[in-house]
């Protein structure tokens, strides 16, 4: 029971951290896609709400993806791919459901999917670079630890 | 007269309490006699009960690479062999703590003396490459604990 409580606490913390990364990513994506497709568009104050709402919507798959066992690298990559597909599907449905399919709409949809992929790759590349430095430091500490024990 | 027929010189010296106790063997080659001495020393440093095919074995803790809990069963992984333990993971974690073992995920306790290197995995996790070539994952949650233990 206590273990499950700790697990959910950590899981929620992780989802919250990812939520803020996603909101930042959406802001960047809206800026880039907007500059490409509608550079003259004027937006109201409600535009500030959209990244927050879309961030919350796209956090749902991560919130529901519960890992009972520690995933292997392959499983983690597979999970990321599923996440990208789900997030893209949710975003496109929320934003454009019921709208008439035009060439411009398809181009915007492609832009959104590419943005989701770019944000996911970017987040993983940045954390990989940071983790590589941490791993190197841990390995050095490990060697020093083993040398100390072995005299 | 062969070298192995000659008695070994035995030297015992007192060391500072801060230093780790050690046994050093000077030999011309690692043969059956040296293996026997090594096994004896390991046996005096703590053992775990391990089961395989219904037989019970006494396994020196220092020989265990990592301990894993899989579906409510606990396994001891050695260089090549695997044994099942009747103890729970948290019990083995307590027993092996003084032997430089540390919890690295919900289901794995690893022997730090058997870790070769650490490299990044996805999602803030790390991968421990063991000296026998196997790899085990370090969960993000346990990274700080590992860092603290290595820094002493």
ipTM of the modeled complex: 0.74
Q: Percentages helix, strand, coil for chain B, rounded to the nearest 5?
A: 30, 30, 40
**Does A147 reach chain B within 8 Å, measured CB to CB?**
no
Residue from the list A14, A128, A150 with its beta carbon closest to the beta carbon of B120: A128
Q: What would the pLDDT profile of B83-108 be if each residue is shown by its tens digit?
A: 999 999 999 999 898 889 999 998 99
Q: What would the pLDDT profile of B19-50 be if each residue is shown by its tens digit?
A: 778 888 999 988 988 988 887 887 677 889 99
Search chain A and give the residue with CA nearest B115.
A142
**Whole-model pTM?**
0.69
d(CA A118, CA A24): 13
Search chain B and give the residue with CA nearest A71.
B137
d(CA B66, CA A70): 15
Choose the mutation target among B18, B99, B121 for the interface with A, i.e. most A CBs under 10 Å. Answer: B121
DSSP H helices, B57-127, are 89-96
Distance from B93 to chain A by nearest Cα, in Å?
16
Residue from the list A69, A139, A144 with its beta carbon closest to the beta carbon of B118: A139
Chain A residues whose beta carbon lies within 8 Å of the beta carbon of residue B123: 76, 127
């Amino acid at each position: 029971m206590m273990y499950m409580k700790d697990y959910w606490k950590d899981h929620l913390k992780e989802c919250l951290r990812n939520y803020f990364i996603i909101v930042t990513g959406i802001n960047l994506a809206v800026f880039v896609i907007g500059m490409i497709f509608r550079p003259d568009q004027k937006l109201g104050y409600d535009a500030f709400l959209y990244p927050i709402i879309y961030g919350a919507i796209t956090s749902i798959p991560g919130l529901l993806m519960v890992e009972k066992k520690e995933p292997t690298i392959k499983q983690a990559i597979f999970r990321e791919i599923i996440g990208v597909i789900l997030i893209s599907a949710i975003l496109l449905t929320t934003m454009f459901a019921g709208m008439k399919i035009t060439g411009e709409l398809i181009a915007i949809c492609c832009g959104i999917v590419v943005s989701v992929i770019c944000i996911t790759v970017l987040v993983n590349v940045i954390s990989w670079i940071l983790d590589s430095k941490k791993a190197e430091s841990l390995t050095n500490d490990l060697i020093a630890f083993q040398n100390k024990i072995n005299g | 007269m062969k070298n192995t027929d000659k008695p070994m010189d035995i030297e015992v010296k007192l060391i500072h309490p801060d230093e780790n106790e050690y046994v050093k063997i000077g030999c011309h080659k690692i043969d059956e006699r040296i293996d026997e001495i090594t096994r004896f020393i390991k046996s005096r440093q703590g053992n775990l009960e391990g089961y395989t095919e219904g037989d019970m074995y006494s396994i020196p803790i220092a020989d265990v690479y990592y301990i894993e809990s899989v579906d409510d069963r606990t396994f001891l992984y050695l260089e090549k062999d695997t044994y099942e333990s009747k103890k729970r993971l948290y019990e083995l974690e307590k027993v092996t703590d003084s032997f430089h073992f540390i919890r690295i995920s919900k289901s794995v306790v690893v022997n730090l003396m058997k870790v070769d290197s650490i490299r990044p995995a996805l999602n803030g996790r790390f991968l421990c490459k063991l000296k026998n070539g196997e790899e085990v994952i370090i969960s993000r949650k346990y990274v700080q604990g590992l860092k603290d233990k290595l820094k002493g």
